[in-house]
Amino acid sequence: MSRLRFKAVEEASKHTPVEIAAPDGLPSEYYGKYVFNRKRMAKYLSKETMKTVLEAIDKGATLQREIADHVAAGMKMWAMEMGATHYTHWFQPLTEGTAEKHDSFIDYEDVAGGDIIERFSGKLLAQQEPDASSFPSGGIRNTFEARGYTAWDPSSPAFIVDDTLCIPTVFISYTGEALDYKAPLLKSLSAVDKAATEVCKLFDPSVKKVFSYLGWEQEYFLVDQALYDARPDLSLTGRTLMGHESAKNQQLEDHYFGSIPPRVAAFMREVEFEAYKYGIPLKTRHNEVAPNQFELAPIFGETNLAVDQNLLVMSLMEKIASKHNFKLLLHEKPFAGINGSGKHNNWSLGTDTGVGLFTPGKTANENLQFVTFLVNTLMAVYKHNALIKASIMSANNAHRLGANEAPPAIISVFLGTQISAVLDKIEYSSEDDDITVDELKKMKLGITHIPEVLIDNTDRNRTSPFAFTGNRFEFRAVGSSANCASAMIALNSAVAAQLIDFKKIIDAKMKQGMKKEQAIFDTLRIYIKECKPIRFDGNGYSDEWKEEAKQRGLDCETSVPLIYDAYTSEQSVHMFESINVMSKKELHARNEVKWETYTKKIQIEARVLGDLSINHIIPVATQYQSVLLDNLYKMRAVFDAKKAEELSKEDASLIEQIASHISVIKNSVDAMVEARKVANKIEDAREKAIAYHDTVEPFFNTIRYHVDKLELIVDNEMWPLPKYRELLFIS
Ligand code: ADP
Ligand code: MG
């Protein structure tokens, strides 16, 4: 009798919506309360300091130490008024998530000791040395014996969590290599700003800056805390490694359209209240397709800030979930047989003059600019499709991509019929056509009405990993637990490099005396032809597409460790180095970290799966088998042999089935342990990850299949783990 499971089910059934107190006033009144934003700066900094800081933020200028001292003083005053006693440099190591080390403001008043005071200087604000030896660095630090340090990113505002002032920082080694996501992200944003601004000047010389925008949609699951605690696989790996599908899942799609369960609604409300206090403009909340799956999304913002806000929201959600007796699951595939979770990255570029570069315009000039950015993005994604896939790939996300519910592990771009028609018009226009602004007007590319049509949601393709949605691209293959920065680094870098190439070509053509419009038009025509293989509007889930994508030469690799090779291909190294985002050394080091992380994840899953199978499942199956045997034995004692055989035919068959499942499970676990032993001896991080992928992971499905079969046979009263039907339906 499985007491643990039933106790958990009982406890979960007692949980009711948690009462939450709404903050005083409207969101607009407490919005940004915990953030050292421009409003607070104006109050706590001198005019002079404020001006210099804003310049650093807007133009990327370096801040002098003296200014940092002033900012630190203002920040400290505000933080202490808010009740903060500690501060931390908040950074984004390659392990995903964020890291922090808290220090108190207290210090001795003078070197001789004695009384203490609260101190926070520009030096402490600007730079810190976390004891970072335990953060993965792919050998950069070991090899160069350089410690890492964190450095303040003034473009993302400091904020207060509980009693701690958190300062967003980059994390780099003393030899200058990035050990985190933020450092290369900032470089990629600056690269795309520069490259895109140059291209914009072809159309509007007054443009001085181009921003990259990100609007993320975060999907997640909630399960009851008590049930979660009774599932060692969920607690240790973030996903269920076994569990037969519930008879009712998402077939009826009733969850997607259904109302939000009251316990969850209370959780969502509290997340929103808190997020507003952090200046995170959460806008949307709803149920997702799978039972217990939900989504939230803010209004989009500048990419660096949006990335930080996503990380902050993930940790807020985790904290708030436990207050509501939930466990938040950010894993990409917590449950087999139902949808996994992604994090759609809505991405666009926009100028300081307020023009969205993926928003079709009203004039011929605006529309030529729109098509220019659209086609260059297609080219970037086409050239770097393997890299862009690598940027979102992980052991977790591999379960989601390629399954019949999420984009496949092939990057393609959906444009929809209207935009495709526009590109076709350009492609099939004659090379001899003389293109002038007037000509463009005459050609009527038919762009003017496109945004309305698309925003009306008439032409959307849910199976595409990278879809144009009217005024932006929606990169849907990003994983729910990932740091958005990884995808944003690859995408913004690829687009920056592409725009630089484009601008060079246009400049050269114009130098030869060609008119600007003609030069642009001719180049776009060539690009449209060249990048055609990346365009796909059909069903991305179909097997035919996998075949066709191969024919088209798109990257179709499915093995995670091999997908990472795209980071260190000659093409990627050249691209990243040419725009100063990452060096070859950094790219190699970061891949080491990715391979190690992959290996560790599979290793942990293999151990948990082995333990659960041997210690939880087989003993219970054997116990039930012996109940059946006992019954059979008694039949024989009571009835004559013929009758007994007749009556116990079903029992005998079940006994044999159980024996056969147990035997496959036991043999597979043994073989998996052996495969692990062999893999563990491999020194090279890449080879080891490949061994884990090729020789360890394949056992997971076999073991799971037979465990799930046992779940259907063994007496429900005995089964030790909460079942899917118990885990998945919050009332
Ligand atoms: P969906 O219909 O895909 O579920 P949502 O409204 O839930 O769309 O989310 C779309 C996200 O895209 C939001 O975060 C929204 O602010 C963002 N978004 C809208 N326009 C842009 C844009 N031009 N650039 C970047 N993000 C945008
Ligand atoms: Mg979306």
**197 in the same domain as 176:** no
Looking at per-residue pLDDT, the higher value among 375 and 459 belongs to 375
pLDDT of residue 431: 66
pLDDT of residue 135: 66
pLDDT of residue 56: 84
d(CA 183, CA 217): 23
**Per-chain residues with Cβ under 5 A from ion ligand 2:** 217, 344
In a domain, 18, yes or no: no
What confidence tens digit (pLDDT) does each residue in 664-678 have?
999 999 999 999 999
Question: Domain boundary at 180, 214, 234, which?
Answer: 180
**565 in the same domain as 431:** yes
Query: How far does the centroid of ligand 1 lie from the alpha carbon of residue 537, in Å?
Result: 20
**195 in the same domain as 148:** no
What confidence tens digit (pLDDT) does each residue in 76-104 have?
999 999 999 999 999 999 887 898 878 88
Question: For atom 2 of ligand 1, which residue has the closest CA?
Answer: 457
603: CATH: 1.20.120.1560
pLDDT band at 1 (very low <50, low <70, confident <90, very high): very low
User: For residue 471, which atom of ligand 1 is closest to its CA?
Assistant: 23
Q: Beta strands of 145-278 (E only): which ranges?
A: 148-152, 159-161, 164-173, 210-224
Which one, of 399, 245, 250, 404, lies nearest residue 331 by Cα? 399
Compute CA 505 distance to the chain's CA centroid, rounded to the nearest angstrom. 35
In a domain, 24, yes or no: no
Query: How far does the centroid of ligand 2 lie from the alpha carbon of residue 627, in Å?
Result: 52
In a domain, 14, yes or no: no
Query: How far does the centroid of ligand 1 lie from the alpha carbon of residue 279, in Å?
Result: 18
Check if the beta carbon of residue 156 is closer than 8 Å to that of residue 308.
yes
Question: Domain boundary at 158, 180, 202, which?
Answer: 180
User: For residue 356, which atom of ligand 1 is closest to its CA?
Assistant: 23
Query: How far does the centroid of ligand 1 lie from the alpha carbon of residue 524, in Å?
Result: 27
Ligand nearest to the CA of 302: 1
**336 in the same domain as 372:** yes
**715 in the same domain as 627:** yes
Say how many domains are in the chain. Answer: 3
Check if the beta carbon of residue 378 is closer than 8 Å to that of residue 534.
yes
Query: What is the average pLDDT value for the chain, to the nearest integer?
Result: 90
**347 in the same domain as 313:** yes
One-letter amino acid identity for 208? K
Question: For atom 17 of ligand 1, which residue has the closest CA?
Answer: 215
Looking at per-residue pLDDT, the higher value among 539 and 578 belongs to 578
d(CA 574, CA 446): 38
DSSP result, 555-573: -----HHHHGGGGGSHHHH
Query: Structural domain of residue 660, as residue ranges?
Result: 596-727
Query: How far does the centroid of ligand 1 lie from the alpha carbon of residue 245, in Å?
Result: 33
Check if the beta carbon of residue 125 is closer than 8 Å to that of residue 152.
yes
135: CATH: 3.10.20.70
Contacts of 195 (CB under 8 A, 6+ apart): 495, 496, 497, 499, 500, 503, 579
Of the spans 35-44, 430-439, 446-455, which averages the highest pLDDT? Answer: 35-44
d(CA 63, CA 576): 26
**670 in the same domain as 525:** no
Q: Are strands 301-302 and 413-414 parallel, antiparallel or unpaired?
A: unpaired
